[in-house]
Chain A
Amino acid sequence: MRVIVALSLLFVLLTPLAAGQGFTVSSDGEVAGFKRVRVDVFFDAPPEAGSLQFLVDGNAHSRVEISADSSEGFASPAVGEWYDDCWTSNDSGTTWSPIHRDESGIPWAFIVAQEGAAIRCDLTGLPANQEALLTISFSTDTGVESVELTVLASTVDVLPPPPPMAPILYAIGSIVLSLIVLFGWLRWKDRDTSHRHGLAFVLPAVLALAVLSFYPVAYGIMLSFTDAHDEALGDEEFNGIDNFVEVFSSEGFLRVMIFTLVWTVVNVLFHVGVGGALALLLQQKIRGKMAYRTMLLLPWAIPSYISVLVWKGMFHPEGMINWFLGTQSDFFSGVTEAQTMVILVNIWLGVPFMMMSISGALQSIPEDLHEAAKVEGVSDWARLRHITLPLLKPTVMPLALMGFIWTFNMFNVIYLLTSGGPNLSTGPGETDILITYVFDLVYEDGALGLAAAWSVVIFIMLMVFSWSLIKGGKVTEAAT
């Protein structure tokens, strides 16, 4: 860099001026900027009307029309509006005024017939750090005068800095080191016990969790207390709880929260209820059980985005469902219709998993119990209530908890089916759930800090729900 600056300085000193028959030219390759040079043309006498042409390495570059007429009807854009700015001077360069331009952007210098006329132009498109031959020709009715000089645009390009890895590695490193210390301490604490080596087996998994889960969560929480926005990434500042205030005071908060809960609860209830009922049915001795089982597994076997797009077509006003109902309803426009539609599709998608899981659990219930109950004359209903359901509980409760978390954060169905619409007001759409709304905040609004705050709210809600369920003993008790 220093060498380039020194060279260019030397260059400017060596070739400051080039004189033509009626004008003198000087150039400066440093002040104008990347791939630009500044050229000053000083006229020895008031110039005639004509055209001042610039050629770089023999190729036409630009021109300035010179006129003594009135500038009326010509615009005089502010400096900076055009990158190749030009100025005129009537006092040998003591003061400079932005040049006028015609409708095509061609610069026009309206020079009063007096001594000291000059034109200054910042020429663009020059090769960076390479000498170029600049030819300046002044054509008038009486002839052409030319001057040549070598110019050098010495300003270098500056690439954006690479993504900063150091803070990320520091953060991950700190988490990993803390875990190593924690595990070391636990191992020391358990030094006299027989299971201390177990910690070593767990460590790799915990380290992976630290990098893949703990760090993103910690970073998300940190981001939620900043004004991070994609218009100023890397310049975010701590803004306290402003994002959370905005979340809770936003017009759509209650609406999106209520629909998220309705969506989750209805889906999980139907997944478990319908999945369980189907599993019980398939447990019976019926003909073609395998065929039914295969059919019921289809929604699970097909990639969800394909299923959802097929459903989207079927719910269209000209789709199969309207054809079947003999209507032309637009399920995507009505609020209730759209909400019902997304819930129905997700129920359809989620039932097979529950059915298979419950089916497996049903097969693990010892047949002896049912046989003994039958011998005792217990009715089918009583066997279901007192044998099947209690023994299913250890499987169903963790499944329901998992289903709750999955459904709460289910993105695909809503995004592909309605994109959160219909949108009847600003903020979340009528079928948006928290997770789809967060997506919009990031990718449409670029509001990263605010989106992080919404994500923290989701995280806390799920934590509280899971914790209370575990603490209440319903899941752990069931699982043991």
Chain B
Amino acid sequence: MVKNSTRRDEAFSETRPNVANRRAVSILLTSLLLLSSGCLGNDDVSEETSNSVTTAIELVVWSTYEVDSKEEETFLSTVDEWMETNPGIEVKVEPKPFLQAVNTYRVAALGGQAPDLMRFSNDQLGSIAPIRDRGSPLLEDLRPWLSPVQREIWDSVALQSMRYEGDLLALPVSQDCVSLFYNKALFDEEGMEYPNDGWTTADMLDAAQQLTFGEQVGISIPTKDPYRWFALNSGHGGTLFTDSGVPNLDGEGSAQAMEFWLSLELEHGIVPTGTNIETMKNHFVEGRAAMIIDGPWQWPTYEKAKIDIGQALLPIVEETGLRMSPMVGFKGWSISKQSPNKAAAVALALYLSSEEVQKVAAKETRTMPVIESLYVDEELLADDVLAGFIAQAKEGFPAPTSRAMTKIYTHLPTAMENAYLGTKTAQEALSEANEDLIAELES
């Protein structure tokens, strides 16, 4: 058996495969050289963007609306309408998860595969804006594309929030902030008055305590969520940054704000242990939570759950007399720096952020507009909920569009975790977070 095998191998080796092998190697080498030379062109190709919006082109839009939501439905019908009036342009909409927007876009853009348009919030812009690929930013500066008259339609604060170090990186389309939601039925059952605009934090605490029994939750808030805590922080006089832009997490009032915030769970026991955003939503959807702090983007979800919802301004902080002031975030449409069809992309972005489209979105989905004229639009103000949110936004402060702001979301949860576990006092935890943040920004 062994012998046979050896003989077969020997016979095989005598078939002189050298010529064939040599040919194979030479073909491989030639192919490799051709492949290399084909790809060794000049990389510094500067292309002129086509300004024509009438030629047959395709725009890829990454929307970050929740899939199958009312917001997405409204958005898609808006895009269809635009395509009807711009027959030469095909718009391909691809949904992307909002929370992954930065990473998804970054990876695509660095690989030269960025969509023409994508919707970002202003804090997300703060993450993307500093990225440079061989000196080039990932997003188009839109200032050259607009005349001052075109810019005037938007709320100047919203427009400013779309800027990063001067560049205008998106056209504002909406704003949002958190507000106080309450379940009217649970208040009615106890014969209690609904929250009102004159409420203080003491009133809220008192009501929450009365409404907490059995499986019922007086108020459900994600205790380790910085975004919602910002509102209480400003109500205590705290700020995230000083006027000169230096981080100020441990400023006056911040420690008290954090102590009160955590005490709702740790001391008063009116917030269930370990409540996060998902459980807060579940508490409210299940009709177990009397109050929550949430934003207008969740309103349709709660309505769908047949909850009789009310909305009120966040209360006034008892100790300071200042109203809780939520951080107002803005969203806008950005254009990729590498888009080959920028003129068409800008035209679409202008349409998507126009007064007409924002009004439809406000009516259909209660998305808060960022157009000055819509703030006083009688038709919109007739909607109590929308009017309530607009009133809440007026009490808020704009989210800074900066790298420092995105870093706050890294350092503040650490402070909250330490204060929650009691490994540090609120003041110590905030001071440490502030020092770390400053050190990171300086490095």
Q: Is the CB of A424 within 8 A of B417?
A: yes
Asked whether any CB of chain B lies closer than 8 Å to the CB of A242, the reply is no
Complex alpha-carbon distance, A297 and B12, angstroms: 47
Residue of A nearest to B433 (CB): A426
Q: Please tell me which one of the listed residues A105, A163, A170, A234 contacts residue B111 in the complex, with CB atoms under 8 A apart.
A: A163
Known contacts A124-B143, A197-B17, A426-B411; is A83 also within 8 Å of B43 by CB?
Answer: no
Q: Nearest Cβ in chain B — how far from A154, in angstroms?
A: 11
Question: Is A158 in contact with B144, judged by CB distance below 8 angstroms?
Answer: no
Compute how far the CA of A164 lies from the CA of B112 in the bound complex, rounded to whole angstroms: 10
CA A260 to CA B6, docked complex, whole Å: 51
Q: Which stretch from B24-32, B242-250, B315-323 is at the chain A interface?
A: B24-32
A476 beta carbon closer than 8 Å to chain B: no
Total interface residues in chain A, CB < 8 Å = 71
Whether B147 and A125, one on each chain, are in contact in the complex, defined by CB atoms closer than 8 angstroms, is yes
- Cβ contact within 8 Å between A125 and B146: yes
In the assembled complex, which residues on chain A have CB atoms less than 8 Å from the CB atom of B135?
232, 234-235
For B388, the chain A residues whose CB sits under 8 A away are none
**Chain B residues within an 8 Å CB radius of A333:** 274, 417, 420-421
| Min CB–CB distance A462 → chain B (angstroms) | 26
Judged by a CB distance under 8 angstroms, whether B298 is at the interface is no
Given the interface pairs A80-B166, A83-B144, the reply to whether A162 lies near B25 with Cβ below 8 Å is no
Whether the pair A176, B134 counts as a contact (CB closer than 8 A) is no
**The one of B29, B39, B273, B410 that contacts A180, using a Cβ cutoff of 8 Å:** B29
Report whether B48 and A157 are in contact in the complex, using a CB–CB cutoff of 8 Å.
Answer: yes
**Complex interface residues of chain B between 364 and 415 (CB less than 8 A to chain A):** 410-411, 413-414
Known: A157-B342, A162-B43. A231 touches B274 (CB 8 A): no
Q: Which residues of B contact A233 (CB under 8 A)?
A: 110, 131-134
Tell me the complex Cα distance, A104–B130, Å.
Answer: 27
Instruction: Determine which residue in B35, B47, B148 has the highest number of CB atoms from chain A within 10 A of its CB, and name it.
Output: B148
Q: Which residue of chain A has its CB nearest to the CB of B414?
A: A423
Given contacts A162-B43, A234-B135, contact A197 B13 (CB under 8 A): yes
User: B420 contacts which chain A residues (CB < 8 A)?
Assistant: 333
Say yes or no for B150: interface residue by CB 8 A criterion. Answer: yes
Say how far B370's CB is from chain A's closest CB, in angstroms. 15
B143, B168, B436: most-surrounded residue (chain A CB, <10 A): B143
| Pick from A166, A328, A443: contact of B40, CB under 8 Å | A166
- A161 and B44 form a contact (CB under 8 A): yes
> Do B112 and A163 touch across chains, with their CB atoms under 8 A apart?
yes
Query: In the bound complex, do residue B134 and residue A426 qualify as a contact, i.e. CB atoms below 8 Å apart?
Result: no
Flag whether A310 is at the interface (Cβ < 8 A): no
Q: Is B296 an interface residue (CB 8 A)?
A: no
A332 to B131, Cβ gap below 8 A? no
Q: Are A125 and B150 in contact (CB under 8 A)?
A: yes
Chain B residues near A62: list those with CB within 8 A. Answer: 147-149
Q: How far is the CA of A230 from the CA of B136 in the complex (A)?
A: 11
Chain A contacts for B143, CB-based, 8 A? 83-84, 124
For residue B136, which residue of chain A has the nearest CB?
A160
Sort A-B residue pairs by CB-CB distance and give the 10 closest, nearest first. Answer: A234-B134, A83-B143, A160-B136, A125-B147, A317-B274, A330-B274, A62-B148, A35-B144, A194-B9, A157-B49
**30 pairs, CB–CB < 8 Å, chain A vs chain B:** A56-B147, A81-B166, A83-B144, A83-B166, A104-B152, A128-B48, A130-B51, A156-B48, A157-B48, A159-B340, A160-B134, A161-B136, A164-B43, A165-B39, A166-B43, A169-B36, A169-B39, A173-B32, A173-B35, A177-B32, A194-B9, A197-B17, A232-B132, A233-B110, A234-B133, A235-B135, A316-B274, A317-B272, A332-B274, A333-B421
**Given A130-B51, A165-B39, A170-B36, 5 more pairs with CB closer than 8 A:** A124-B145, A318-B274, A318-B279, A425-B414, A426-B414
Binding site for B on A (CB under 8 A): 33-36, 56, 59-63, 80-81, 83-84, 104-106, 123-125, 127-130, 156-166, 169-170, 173, 176-177, 180, 184, 194-197, 200, 230-235, 316-318, 328-330, 332-334, 421-426, 443-444, 446
